[in-house]
């Protein structure tokens, strides 16, 4: 999930870490409150065939509210948080932060860092030349 949002660059500086943490916080809010997920109930193997049964797709937020051990105070707090989240605005925020992160990562690569040197010989530069047996 993370790499689909922020791509496969190497993020190893402090400003990139701050952006990544902010993106993860926003993305987890979207995932937990608005993206329904199916949970596996059972899996039965019959020979080579595996039959899986899933429950109805619901969000982790609704699963938590429906859980019997949830207290009323916690349910109220979760619902308050849910009512404050605007999914479209949150997605736009994630896109803006991802663009900033992409800019940081690409500028770091273009900042004059030398390309990695490969230590392997190319095929035409073989160290042991083939000999002809006559």
Write down the pLDDT at residue 128: 67
Find residue 50's DSSP bridge partners: 45
- Please state, in angstroms and rounded to a whole number, the distance separating the CA atoms of residues 39 and 52: 10
Confidence of residue 13 (pLDDT cuts 50, 70, 90): confident
Is 12 or 47 the better-scoring residue by pLDDT?
47
Name residue, tokens 């500028």.
107
Span 80-86, average pLDDT: 95
Write down the pLDDT at residue 46: 94
User: DSSP string covering 10-49, please?
Assistant: ---SHHHHHHHHHHHHHHHHHHHHH--B--EEEEEEETTE
Portion of the chain with pLDDT greater than 90, in percent: 61
The answer on pLDDT for 123 being more than 70 is no
Kind plus residue range of the DSSP H or E element containing 52: strand 49-54
The predicted-structure confidence for 46-57, as pLDDT tens digits, reads as follows 999 999 999 999
Backbone angles phi, psi at 91, to 5 degrees: -65, -40
C-alpha distances (whole Å) from 39 to each of 59, 62, 70, 104, 108 are 10, 13, 19, 37, 41
Confidence of residue 118 (pLDDT cuts 50, 70, 90): low
- Please state, in angstroms and rounded to a whole number, the distance separating the CA atoms of residues 60 and 76: 15
Span 90-115, average pLDDT: 82
Q: Tokens standing for 128? A: 């042991």
Q: How many CB atoms lie within 10 A of CB 74?
A: 13
Q: Determine which of 59-63, 83-87, 95-99, 123-127 has the lowest per-residue pLDDT on average.
A: 123-127
Write down the pLDDT at residue 113: 57
């Amino acid at each position: 999930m993370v790499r689909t949002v922020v791509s496969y660059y190497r993020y190893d500086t402090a400003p990139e870490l701050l952006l990544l943490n902010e993106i993860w916080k926003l993305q987890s809010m979207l995932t937990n409150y608005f993206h329904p997920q199916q949970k596996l109930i059972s899996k039965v193997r019959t020979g080579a065939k595996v039959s899986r049964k899933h429950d109805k797709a619901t969000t982790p937020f609704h699963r938590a509210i429906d859980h019997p051990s949830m207290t009323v105070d916690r349910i109220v707090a979760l619902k308050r948080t849910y009512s404050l989240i605007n999914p479209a605005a949150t997605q736009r925020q994630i896109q803006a932060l991802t663009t900033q992160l992409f800019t940081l990562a690409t500028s770091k690569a273009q900042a004059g860092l030398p390309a990695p040197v490969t230590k392997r010989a190319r095929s035409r530069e073989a160290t042991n030349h083939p000999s002809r047996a006559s």
